[in-house]
Amino acid sequence: MLNRREALLAGLATSLLGTEARAARQDGTWPAYPAEEIDLWPGTPPGAPAPLPVEQVIETGTEERHGRMVKGIARPRMKVFRPSRPNGAALLVTPGGGYSVIMIDVEGYQIGPWLAERGWTVFVLYYRLPGEGWANRADVPLADAQRAMRLIRSRAAVYGFDPEKVGAMGFSAGGHVCGDLATRYDVKVYDPIDAADRLSARPAIAAPIYAVQSMHAPLAHGGSRDMLLGPNPTAEMQRARSPAHNVSAGTPPMFMAHAEDDTVVSVENSIEMRAALKAAGVKVETHLFTAGQHGLGLPGPAGEPARHWKEMFVTWAKAQGLG
């Protein structure tokens, strides 16, 4: 059964984001899965359960405009969107889905082509879902994000971008992955396996969008917390995985966007994160919109100006020296 978060975004996939599909393809169809991909781990990922999860794609849209959700990810990987005119910067994108699925179209394949058209090399991450039997479940998504950042940097010359200009962006629970990476990029959550793991996992910039941040009630998104931390997490477990509590002077500059009428993930998550960044002296750009709900995709005048957050991000990123 779909939870409220997943059902809402399944609807967004087919009703609110059709214009993005038309922008990505002249014939109005949704972009297909990119053929190019990069596996994160050689062989079986660390901490694998027996048996391994079986990957499933759940289609909630149509053949023309997909609304695909993915679960059972046993082969974490990145799908690559290459720009025709690289701007020298790259971005790791982590879709959301309450840590129970990954909303690969709505929060991956929708933003990937849009950014690639503007010169970004985009890597959309299929990260492992913590409730599917993996050891050290609370750090499994972070391990995949750290490994992804290091692999991206190791391939900078191949793709034609500056390894110092690699950012991270995430949505909802994927925004938690992004925030966790931005604040715990140097925490050891897996054993190094090759030369890429000698590289930094710190993103140059981070953009958690309508992001899950706090693991504490009442701010926590209960479904995401339960999937990440399991039943009855201790106060210390919740604190350790709440990015606002892990901000330091080394946290990268951050861009956040959130709607105040978001009834799925409270805007107070972003407000708490902003306060922590300001206290640590980290540069932060924060856009809190009156309307936009969860997904910043309301149609018509009610959705203005929230629907323009992407342009705001690109402008901000250029001011940080990326793009």
Q: Which contiguous run of DSSP H or E holds residue 177?
A: helix 173-184
Q: Is 127 helix (H, G, I), strand (E, B) or coil?
A: coil
**Neighbouring residues of 313: CB distance < 8 A, sequence distance ≥ 6:** 169, 207, 255, 257
| pTM, to two decimals | 0.90
How far is Cα 286 from Cα 282, in angstroms, rounded to an integer? 12
Residue 57 sits in which domain range? 4-319
Tokens standing for residue 319: 């001011």
Q: Which of 216, 211, 222, 223 is nearest to 177 (CA)?
A: 211
**Which position has the token pair 């053949």?**
63
How far is Cα 118 from Cα 82, in angstroms, rounded to an integer? 10
CATH of the domain at 58: 3.40.50.1820
Q: In whole angstroms, what separates CA 202 from the centre of its chain?
A: 15
Q: What's the pLDDT score for residue 239?
A: 97
Q: What's the pLDDT score for residue 22?
A: 32
How far is Cα 322 from Cα 161, in angstroms, rounded to an integer? 10
Q: What's the pLDDT score for residue 31?
A: 52
Q: Which of 65, 69, 90, 71 is nearest to 80 (CA)?
A: 90
Q: What's the pLDDT score for residue 32?
A: 58
Per-residue pLDDT of the chain (323 residues; tens, 9 = 90+): 445 445 444 444 433 333 333 333 444 444 556 789 999 999 999 999 999 999 999 988 776 677 899 999 999 999 999 999 999 999 999 999 999 999 999 899 999 999 999 999 999 999 999 999 999 999 999 999 999 999 999 999 999 999 999 999 999 999 999 999 999 999 999 999 999 999 999 999 999 999 999 999 999 999 999 999 999 999 999 999 999 999 999 999 999 999 999 999 999 999 999 999 999 999 999 999 999 999 997 877 888 999 999 999 999 999 999 98
**Neighbouring residues of 236: CB distance < 8 A, sequence distance ≥ 6:** none
Q: What's the pLDDT score for residue 306?
A: 95
Residue 35's Cβ-count burial label (10 Å; 0-12, 13-18, 19+) is exposed
Q: Which of 299, 292, 309 is nearest to 256 (CA)?
A: 309
How many degrees, rounded to 5, is the angle at CA 29 between CA 25 and CA 32?
85
Q: How many domains does the chain have?
A: 1
